[in-house]
């Protein structure tokens, strides 16, 4: 069970988040104002905080800044309104770990919360990893080489970055927007089949000629790298 605090003043959105995350193994506490959220975040032992940026009382950015000042390092996912241009930068500067634009699809929220929780639990060991391994696929982060079943695979820089991200999140769904942000550093969705093209190219290098495909498409959600 993942203990999650949702700080969101709109009951509809809060309910939507609660229902979606509960079904996927989260225990949800809800705080409807910034002040409540701050108190709960300080006392409760949460693994994840989902905070709206615009809140009655204390706004989301201030709230997280103050939590970070108190050395509370719980991962924070910001909810921002669409069209807010500097949302990402401001959120990250305040100490947030990720952000998602409202209105959002549940798969997107799930994928991102999973990534955050996982990253937090891995954070100690994470940097010492020099080799990522999924089934017979191996990625060496030092020599920057990739091989499958011992066969070396030649990847270009972007392809390497894409595969690295998929392997770091192996077994979990990553969405198009997550890939756009992390691999290409894009804060907007170009709205074409750009990601699909890159993934299919990578797929042709990784999976072609091997019995078991590793990169899977999850319809309506994104991609997942897993054995079988």
Partner 1 sequence: MSFVQARLFQTEAFRLAAIYAGLFLGSMTLLLVVIYLVVSHAFAASLLRAATDDLNAIRTAYNYADGPKRRRPLQEAELHEAKEMIEDRILANDDEDLFLLEKNGRKIAGNLPIMGPAPGVQRFAYVAGRGATQRMLLGRGEQLRDGAYAFVGRDLESLEEAREQVLIAFTIVFGTSLVLAGVGGIVLSRSFVQRLDAITTTCRSIMSGRLKDRIPARGTRNELDQLAASINAMLDRIEALMESLKQVTNDIAHDLRTPLAHLRYRLEGVRSEATCIEDYELAIDRAIEESDSLLTMFAGLLRIAQIEAGARQAGMQELDFTSVMDRVASLYKPLMEDTVHPFTARIENGLKFRGDPQLLIQLFSNLLDNALRHTPQGAEITLSAGATESGIGVAVEDRGEGIPREDRSKVFRRFFRREKSRTTPGSGLGLALVAAVVELHAGTVCLEDNKPGLRAQVNFPAQA
Enter the DSSP assignment of 46.
Answer: -
Using the rule CB under 8 A, which residue among 22, 24, 73, 158 binds partner 1?
158
Please give the Cα distance from 80 to 51 (Å, whole number).
9
Closer to partner 1 by Cβ: residue 17 or 49: 17
Segment near partner 1 (CB under 8 A); pick from 47-55, 99-107, 124-132, 142-150 = 99-107
CB 160 within 8 A of CB 146: yes
Give the shortest CB-178-to-partner 1 separation in angstroms: 16
CA 165 vs CA 101, 183, 199: distances in Å: 21, 7, 12
Segment near partner 1 (CB under 8 A); pick from 57-65, 142-150, 186-194, 208-216 = 186-194
Using the rule CB under 8 A, which residue among 65, 161, 172, 201 binds partner 1?
201
Distance of CA 21 to the CA centre of its chain: 14
CB 27 within 8 A of CB 3: yes
Q: Could you check whether the bond before residue 103 is cis, i.e. omega within 30 degrees of 0?
A: yes
Q: Is residue 12 within the footprint of partner 1 (CB under 8 A)?
A: no
Say what angle helices 176-184 and 106-126 make with each other, to 10 degrees: 40
* Phi-psi region at 39: left, alpha or beta (left = phi > 0; alpha = psi -120 to 50): alpha
Closer to partner 1 by Cβ: residue 85 or 125: 85
Q: Is residue 189 within the footprint of partner 1 (CB under 8 A)?
A: yes
Closer to partner 1 by Cβ: residue 70 or 89: 89
Please give the Cα distance from 206 to 9 (Å, whole number).
45
Strand 76-81 to 48-52 pairing? parallel
Q: Is residue 176 within the footprint of partner 1 (CB under 8 A)?
A: no
Q: Is residue 101 within the footprint of partner 1 (CB under 8 A)?
A: yes
Give the shortest CB-101-to-partner 1 separation in angstroms: 7
Closer to partner 1 by Cβ: residue 3 or 201: 201
What residue ranges bind partner 1 (CB under 8 A)?
82-86, 89, 101, 103, 105, 158, 184-194, 197-198, 200-201, 220
């Amino acid at each position: 069970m993942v203990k999650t605090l949702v700080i969101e003043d709109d009951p509809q959105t809060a309910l939507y988040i609660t229902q979606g995350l509960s079904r996927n193994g989260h225990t949800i506490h809800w705080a409807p104002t910034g002040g409540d959220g701050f108190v709960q975040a300080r006392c409760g032992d949460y693994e994840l905080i989902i905070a709206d940026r615009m809140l009655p009382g204390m706004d989301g950015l201030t709230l997280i800044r103050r939590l970070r000042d108190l050395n509370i390092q719980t991962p924070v996912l910001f909810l921002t309104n669409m069209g807010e241009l500097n949302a990402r930068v401001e959120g990250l500067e305040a100490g947030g770990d990720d952000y998602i634009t409202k209105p959002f699809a549940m798969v997107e929220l799930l994928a991102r919360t999973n990534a955050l929780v996982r990253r937090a639990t891995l954070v100690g060991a994470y940097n010492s990893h020099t080799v990522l391994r999924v089934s017979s696929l191996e990625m060496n982060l030092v020599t920057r080489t990739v091989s499958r079943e011992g066969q070396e695979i030649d990847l270009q820089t972007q392809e390497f970055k894409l595969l690295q991200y998929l392997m770091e999140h192996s077994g979990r769904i990553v969405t198009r927007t997550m890939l756009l942000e992390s691999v290409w550093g894009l804060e907007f969705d170009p709205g074409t089949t750009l990601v699909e093209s890159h993934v299919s190219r990578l797929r042709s290098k990784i999976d072609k000629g091997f019995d078991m495909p590793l990169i899977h498409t999850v319809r309506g959600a994104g991609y997942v790298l897993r054995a079988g």
